[in-house]
Amino acid sequence: MTLLGSRPVTAPGWTGQPRTDLAIIDCDVHHSLAKQDDLIPYLPRVYQERVRDQGFLLPGSGYYNSPKRATRSDLADGCDATMADVKRGSDLEQMREHHLDLWNVDYAILTGGSMYSASLVPDPDHAAALCRAFNDWTLETWVGRDKRFKMTLAVTVSDPRLAIQEIDRLGDNPNVVGIMLPTGARMPYGNRLYHPIWEACERHHLAVCVHPGAEGAGMAGPPTGVGYPTYYLETRLARPQMAMAHCASMICEGVFERFPTLKLAVVEVDQFWVPGFMWHLDADWKSLREQTPWVKRLPSEYFREHIRIGSQPLEEPERPEDLINLLEAMHADETLIYCSDWPHWDWDDPATTFPRLPERLHRRIFAENAREMFGL
Amino acid sequence: MTLLGSRPVTAPGWTGQPRTDLAIIDCDVHHSLAKQDDLIPYLPRVYQERVRDQGFLLPGSGYYNSPKRATRSDLADGCDATMADVKRGSDLEQMREHHLDLWNVDYAILTGGSMYSASLVPDPDHAAALCRAFNDWTLETWVGRDKRFKMTLAVTVSDPRLAIQEIDRLGDNPNVVGIMLPTGARMPYGNRLYHPIWEACERHHLAVCVHPGAEGAGMAGPPTGVGYPTYYLETRLARPQMAMAHCASMICEGVFERFPTLKLAVVEVDQFWVPGFMWHLDADWKSLREQTPWVKRLPSEYFREHIRIGSQPLEEPERPEDLINLLEAMHADETLIYCSDWPHWDWDDPATTFPRLPERLHRRIFAENAREMFGL
């Protein structure tokens, strides 16, 4: 099989000059357990027994079918297909060959997947034990084996004290750059009940990363403000809706005033909504800011300083120039971070997804915005 | 007090030539009961007694405060301020003077307000009785007194049989041009349980109009996919989210294939999301359409043919040219309909809100798109 791309990658916007800095930070690379039993050695005995007896007891978004179980079928050989929460991405060698080496990725932010629904599990001790085990397993079997890996911590927000314990336990590891939360939530992430978690993240210089997951599952309510969609096709469109609700909540509740160095990365939620989100909130803030006096600046200023949006799935406008308009209107040189979403079926490779961009903008999107956010 | 504007209005895009066709159809003019008792004569005796004893029993979005009870304070004199569900707009003479005559509005689509939450009332008979009374009151005290008024029917979707009875009772009145539903809903409006209602609308050539209301109230779930926002500032941003969910549902469930002449008008939900909504769904449909084989065309084709979006609140982009880009990308000549939202505090007048537009586009937005949809 002929591999796509070549080495070194010559993609739109690349100069072909010798590299003097980072070229690609991929902010959404999924690594997964090949099988549930792999986590057993990392669990306390009571949970070892429970998982052996009953499985992970994690809720999935079970009411729709995603095609090919969400993954690239060309990478699926040899994976245990009977395990509902396994995704492809469990093979490190395959990830190196088909992704990191192929595209010369400098850093890959491991975003997991198996533990996204931990925050929506009713039993917070059970959820936190799974998260701890998954984090230790990630450190040992992924981060310890390739210097290009940085990781986000799986945590459960359903008991902030337990989330903070985990953040304090691993947050100073230089390979830990953030925490990972699902879009699915019982309350938008600006709610005051979460603030102690954000305080711990700021203390350890960790970004808060939000990725689609667990919407409409476990203790989460319906994934839209008007109830349950029927089909996967429409459910995917709930992602930008949830992203808007979380971002508005974080800004309006004053999270970025209370935690002035905190960064929020929201990935796999489209980008089209970002300019209008800022226009709308700026206009409304001018009329309504007496209700939220702690929001001292234009909402768009908080967004541009604190919130980063993943590039995948990149919009495919009817008129190509609308993508350029969008990148300008969303201040992509500040807000957009490259994400491949490897190895999912709708992933975006770094070489062919974007049109040719001005070099500075290209470097901001593919490396600099993420480098600054994650302190790489 | 000096009135804004002049007569005839010379607004951006107007030619100043003698009018040969409709100039302004305002698709969102709120008319209201001045006091609850005004509805009593239109109710059956059992509900007369109940309303006298207990009030309308309609849920409100009571967990936030909207400024000035949502209305223009300059119009508020003489209104009964103690009634929670009264909005300004109860005075026909005031509406004539300050709106219809002032701007030379040709047709005003009366969108009510008092009954938006009827579909979220647990008791469907009670809700339907209120809707019937409100419709009869509207016909007699508003539509019967000014030829410029057209009306939407208040209905409750919680019992489709009762909704259809009301649509059959009044749907052939030439002054009835649609039904009015709130964004707040237990299920997105494409769900099959609603289809008999859409069938009745199509039979009577009525548009389905959706306006913010009752989100998070009554039997509705939280107004976002991630729970309850805290402040009105962020709750307003739930409107485009709910609009996206309803529109995606209507398209993905094949409503416009089953009811090929049905029109959907979604107003007061912003516009920024419309282009990206179409890009996203078109791209996903290409990958996922085997799950919804009744969706035979690009989702954007259904949108452009069947869905109309209100112009209020019009976006206020950081760069003025982005508004023009937006109008082009959303195919505003097909999809955008002028709405004032009179007399609410954040209303948009027809003369100063838009920049100067090409004459054809101006006429499509201010009159033609609505004329075609409502059959005027």
What DSSP line would sit under A31-64, residue for residue? ---SSGGGGGGGS-HHHHHHHHHH-------TTS
Mean pLDDT of A354-362: 93
Instruction: Write down how long chain A is.
Output: 376
Q: How high is the pLDDT of residue A75? A: 72
The answer to whether the beta carbons of residues B236 and B181 sit under 8 Å apart is: no
Q: Say whether pLDDT at A143 is over 80.
A: yes
Q: How high is the pLDDT of residue B87? A: 45
Q: Say whether pLDDT at A80 is over 90.
A: no
- pLDDT digit string, tens, across residues A335-348: 999 999 999 889 99
- pLDDT digit string, tens, across residues A170-191: 999 999 999 999 999 999 999 9
A140 CA: distance to closest CA in chain B (Å): 33
If pLDDT is split at 50, 70 and 90, which confidence band does B51 have? very high
Q: Say whether pLDDT at A19 is over 60.
A: no
Q: How high is the pLDDT of residue A15? A: 53
Name which residue leads in pLDDT, B91 or B199: B199
* Cα→Cα distances B279→A270, B39, B245, B310, B328, Å: 10, 46, 15, 20, 14
Q: Say whether pLDDT at A194 is over 70.
A: yes
Q: How high is the pLDDT of residue A331? A: 98
Rounded Cα distance between B33 and B136, Å, is 12
Name which residue leads in pLDDT, B5 or A222: A222
B58 CA: distance to closest CA in chain A (Å): 18
B75 CA: distance to closest CA in chain A (Å): 18
Chain A residues whose CB is inside 8 A of the B190 CB are: 230, 234
Least CB–CB distance from B273: residue in A231, A273, A313: A273
Instruction: Write down how long chain B is.
Output: 376
Rounded Cα distance between B176 and B374, Å, is 9
Q: How high is the pLDDT of residue B84? A: 38
Which residue of chain A is at minimal alpha-carbon distance from B284? A233
Q: How high is the pLDDT of residue A105? A: 95
Chain A residues whose CB is inside 8 A of the B71 CB are: none
Mean pLDDT of A315-327: 95
- pLDDT digit string, tens, across residues A103-129: 999 999 999 988 989 999 999 999 999
If pLDDT is split at 50, 70 and 90, which confidence band does A59 have? confident
Which residue of chain B is at minimal alpha-carbon distance from A319? B329
Q: Say whether pLDDT at A71 is over 80.
A: no
The answer to whether the beta carbons of residues A297 and A260 sit under 8 Å apart is: no
Contacts of A279 (CB under 8 A, 6+ apart): A300, B272, B315, B316, B317, B318
Chain B residues whose CB is inside 8 A of the A245 CB are: 224-227, 229, 234, 237-238, 241
Hey, are the CB atoms on A241 and B224 less than 8 Å from each other?
A: yes
Hey, are the CB atoms on A322 and B329 less than 8 Å from each other?
A: yes
Query: Following DSSP, what letter does each residue of A259-305 receive, concatenated?
Result: STT--EEE-SS-STHHHHHHHHHHHHHHHHGGG-TT--S-HHHHHHH
pTM above 0.95, yes or no: no
Hey, are the CB atoms on A226 and B187 less than 8 Å from each other?
A: yes
Q: How high is the pLDDT of residue B64? A: 54
Q: How high is the pLDDT of residue A345? A: 87
Q: How high is the pLDDT of residue B113? A: 82
Of the listed ranges A6-15, A338-347, B353-362, the one predicted with least confidence? A6-15
Q: What percent of chain A has pLDDT over 90?
A: 79
Report the Cα A370 to chain-centroid distance in Å. 12
Least CB–CB distance from A225: residue in B190, B215, B287: B215
Hey, are the CB atoms on A248 and B229 less than 8 Å from each other?
A: yes
Hey, are the CB atoms on A191 and B244 less than 8 Å from each other?
A: no
Average pLDDT, chain B: 90
Name which residue leads in pLDDT, B2 or B113: B113
Of the listed ranges A7-16, B121-130, B341-350, the one predicted with least confidence? A7-16
Q: Which two tokens stand for residue B49?
A: 């007694």
Q: Say whether pLDDT at A61 is over 70.
A: no
Least CB–CB distance from A244: residue in B237, B271, B282: B237
Least CB–CB distance from A234: residue in B249, B271, B328: B249
Cis-peptide into A275, omega within 30 deg: no
If pLDDT is split at 50, 70 and 90, which confidence band does B140 have? very high
Chain A residues whose CB is inside 8 A of the B236 CB are: 280, 284, 288
Mean pLDDT of B275-299: 95
Of the listed ranges A48-52, A87-91, A152-156, B348-352, the one predicted with least confidence? A87-91
Q: Say whether pLDDT at A351 is over 50.
A: yes
Q: Say whether pLDDT at A32 is over 80.
A: yes
Sign of CA dihedral A179, A206, A192, A279: negative
Q: How high is the pLDDT of residue B70? A: 66
Q: Say whether pLDDT at A1 is over 50.
A: no
Q: What value does the CA radius of gyration of chain A take, rounded to a whole number of Å?
A: 20
If pLDDT is split at 50, 70 and 90, which confidence band does A69 have? low
Q: How high is the pLDDT of residue A84? A: 38
Hey, are the CB atoms on A284 and B233 less than 8 Å from each other?
A: yes
If pLDDT is split at 50, 70 and 90, which confidence band does B19 have? low
Mean pLDDT of B116-122: 93
Hey, are the CB atoms on A241 and B227 less than 8 Å from each other?
A: no
Q: How high is the pLDDT of residue B77? A: 59
Q: How high is the pLDDT of residue B21? A: 65
Q: Say whether pLDDT at B65 is over 70.
A: no
Average pLDDT, chain A: 90
Size of interface A-B (CB pairs under 8 A): 268
A201 CA: distance to closest CA in chain B (Å): 21
If pLDDT is split at 50, 70 and 90, which confidence band does B10 have? very low
If pLDDT is split at 50, 70 and 90, which confidence band does B12 have? low
Which residues face A231 on adjacent strands?
none
Q: How high is the pLDDT of residue B72? A: 74
Hey, are the CB atoms on A249 and B242 less than 8 Å from each other?
A: no
Q: Say whether pLDDT at A285 is over 70.
A: yes
Mean pLDDT of B105-123: 93
Name which residue leads in pLDDT, A140 or B89: A140
Q: Say whether pLDDT at B68 is over 80.
A: no
Mean pLDDT of B212-230: 92
Of the listed ranges A171-185, B300-314, B338-352, the one predicted with least confidence? B338-352
Chain B residues whose CB is inside 8 A of the A284 CB are: 233, 236-237
